[in-house]
Amino acid sequence: MKIPPTKKQNIVEKINNISINDQYRYLEDQENPEVKEWIKAQNEYTYSFLKNKSFEIFSNELAKNFKVVNFGNPHLKNGRYFYSERQKNEDQSVIYFKNGIDGEPIKLIDPNSKDSKNITTIDFWVVSKSGKYLVYGLSKGGTEMATLYIKNVDENKNLKEEIPNCRYSSVAWLPDDSGFFYTRNPKPGTVEKSEEHLYSKIHFHKLGENPENDELIFGKDRPKDDLLRLKTSTSGEYLTIEVSNKWTENEVHLYNYKTKEIRALITGIPANFYLNFHKEKVFLYTNHNASNGKILVTNIQDIFSPLTKWKKFIPERKYNLESISMTKSKILIEYLVNACSKVVLFDYEGKEIGELPFPKYSSLAGISSNRDEEEFFYSVNSFTFPQISYRYIPKENKYVEYRKTDNPINPDDYIVKQEWCKSKDGTKIPMFIFHKKNLSLNGKNPTILYGYGGFGTSEVPEFWRTYVPWVERGGIYVIANIRGGGEFGQNWHKKGIKENKQNSFDDFIACAKYLIKKKYTSHEHLAASGGSNGGLLVSAVAVQEPKLFAGVRSGVPLTDMVRFHKFGIASRWVNEYGSPEVKKDLKNILKWSPYHNVKKGIEYPSILFTTGINDTRVNPLHARKMTAILQSVNKKNKIFLLTEMDSGHGAGKPIKKIIETQAMILFFFAETLGLKI
């Protein structure tokens, strides 16, 4: 099948007195009938190459591997255990609860029955302190714009009120269950359609009342790109409002439920701050003057004291403080030690009292705890095994295996190692390398190098069920821990953003060249893979080093970095990439923006772009425009675009769709790199 024809426009725009060509701007409008036909034609072109008998082999194997029971850690609330679970033949997870650890499971929320395609998903759920009520949000088709519902757990019935326009709502219950604070987006039609996922504000809902009358607590006249996170103090007197429109700093405000007053606690400091309450104490995480993070403490009556008056509770350590969890008598602190998890236990006087047991090269998949209970659950996973959940039994003071996910591979047949290379500026960059034992270092092993490198997100060891067929056949899977991520603290993140963004690309390129130098693979057998910010990453390195990779999979990517901020929630990301409205930033962005650096006369690698038509995080226009420009210059290597019609950025995608897409990706890599199927 021939490449679908794509028309060009003669558009030259001047931004900050810089002339910028944009031949494929019309592809931004997916409601345009011409663009709809183009998307359909591109899908048919992609299917004609990537859906065949080999695709079916991968599809069947993935279906078998995915037919396992998946579950989340239980959340203990007043003797009730709430948890999510997906059965072998279900597309979406279901919420259950049990009365007591050995009680019978009772189904509370099942989105699988909501529509014929199983594209309705649970975006969030929060249980009240007593365990009597549960707030949850349902969205459909990957839009991530949920309607909020309230379930009476005793009766297993929803209350009458429903609250629409709640994108990943942050919810904080009052201790007496009488109501909750929550974040809500504007009604459709009150703002521009492209900004309906912005303008988040805090409201208070009293149970049984009309949500139309919910009191506005915070957000009036605030920036449209505020990100809000809510918590209540132990007594319920204070609501903590953590608000950010940047990724390297945030503000903290306190709302007094009794007096209805809001006071700023922390503003104007270029760092991150997060509050946790326990009885009459307040604990404050910050990376202010502590790149790896530290914790301060004060009494609640002194909460408005200057930070210089707060006491040091846990000083900064050598490794990055990744997360904080609290029980009735313990604080559980997760550190990342060379991108692997280490959880240290402290009492409420700041004394270190132990560690959670972790296998080598593993990561914390989650902790389920609350400040009113001694009991807690935590889960661990790695490259060689999927989630194992453990339960802490207070009376016996021991950890026991609670549940274990079926493992489709034998861990003894595989090896995981961490190796380091030097980036362009001499910075040491680690990577995890996962493959079968007794691998021959002959430079011919089909290898996938994965990266992300943005927003302070840490890439840690985890079980990639989607790549089991790859490693089983002798392929190598590698994860690069590049700058822009959070593996080594705030400084590691800042060294990969804005004017330093090129460092992320240089780090990834250095990892690729290291794998070739050490004869794990070669140019002909090496591919790059990434999604979202990682899609930007691999698109950029493919353009900068077109001969380095044989193939690239770029999922839900950003590629047009001159116009990214004009679409939806992407306006929040100018603090990560720089603002194209600022001349200095624009000049820097134009050096690495993938769409603006494609050149005629250069053959780029074979690339598969994947996106979702309903993506409200990264607009699918990026994948469309990048596909068009690369198809116009490549003479030999194939450029594919797969647009999923009932999907968004990836969250809530039904298992059958995950399997179909991943089977095409695996076949694309196998065909491009020479993996024997």
In this structure, are residues 552 and 538 in contact, taking their beta carbons and an 8 Å threshold?
yes
Q: Is the pLDDT of residue 396 over 90?
A: yes
In this structure, are residues 295 and 278 in contact, taking their beta carbons and an 8 Å threshold?
no
Residues whose CB is less than 8 angstroms from the CB of residue 37 and which lie 6 or more positions away in sequence, other chains included = none
By the 10 Å C-beta count (0-12 exposed, 13-18 middle, 19+ buried), 10 is classed as: exposed
Q: What DSSP letter does each residue of 587-647 carry, written as one string?
A: HHHHHH-GGGS--TT-PPPEEEEEEETT-SSS-THHHHHHHHHHHHH-SSS-EEEEEETT-
At 279-313, the pLDDT tens digits run 999 999 999 999 999 999 999 999 999 999 999 99
Q: From CA 592, how far away is CA 504, in angstroms rounded? A: 11
Average pLDDT over residues 319-336: 98
Q: What DSSP letter does each residue of 165-220 carry, written as one string?
A: EETT--EEE-TTSSEEEEEEPPPTTSS-GGGTT---EEEEEETTS-GGGPEEEE-T
Predicted confidence band of residue 432 (pLDDT cuts 50, 70, 90): very high
In this structure, are residues 453 and 537 in contact, taking their beta carbons and an 8 Å threshold?
yes
Q: From CA 423, how far away is CA 505, in angstroms rounded? A: 10
At 227-276, the pLDDT tens digits run 999 999 999 999 999 999 889 999 999 999 999 999 999 999 999 999 99
Give residue 113's pLDDT: 84
Predicted confidence band of residue 426 (pLDDT cuts 50, 70, 90): very high
In this structure, are residues 217 and 255 in contact, taking their beta carbons and an 8 Å threshold?
yes
Domain boundaries in the chain?
Answer: 34-64+409-673
Among residues of the chain, what percentage have pLDDT more than 70?
Answer: 100
Q: From CA 79, how far away is CA 99, in angstroms rounded? A: 6
At 361-390, the pLDDT tens digits run 999 999 999 999 999 999 999 999 999 999
Rounded mean pLDDT of the chain?
97
Give residue 245's pLDDT: 84
- φ, ψ (nearest 5 deg) of residue 313: -105, -55
Single-letter code of the amino acid located at 313: F
Residues whose CB is less than 8 angstroms from the CB of residue 426 and which lie 6 or more positions away in sequence, other chains included = none
By the 10 Å C-beta count (0-12 exposed, 13-18 middle, 19+ buried), 108 is classed as: middle
Q: b/e string for 68-106 if b means 16 or more Cβ within 10 A?
A: bebbbbbbbbeebbbbbbbeeebbbbbbbbbeeeeeeee
In this structure, are residues 591 and 502 in contact, taking their beta carbons and an 8 Å threshold?
yes
* Sheet arrangement for strand 340-346: 320-326, 331-337, 340-346, 352-355
- CATH code, residues 34-64+409-673: 3.40.50.1820
Token reading at 461: 């060891």
Average pLDDT over residues 506-535: 98
Give residue 518's pLDDT: 98
Can you name the residues that pair with 106 across neighbouring β-strands? 97
Give residue 434's pLDDT: 98
Size (the chain), residues:
677
Neighbours of 234 (CB within 10 A): 16
At 219-230, the pLDDT tens digits run 999 999 999 999
Helix-helix angle 33-50:621-633, to 10 degrees: 70
DSSP annotation of 246 reads: S
- φ, ψ (nearest 5 deg) of residue 147: -100, 130
Give residue 435's pLDDT: 98
Average pLDDT over residues 649-672: 96
Give residue 58's pLDDT: 97
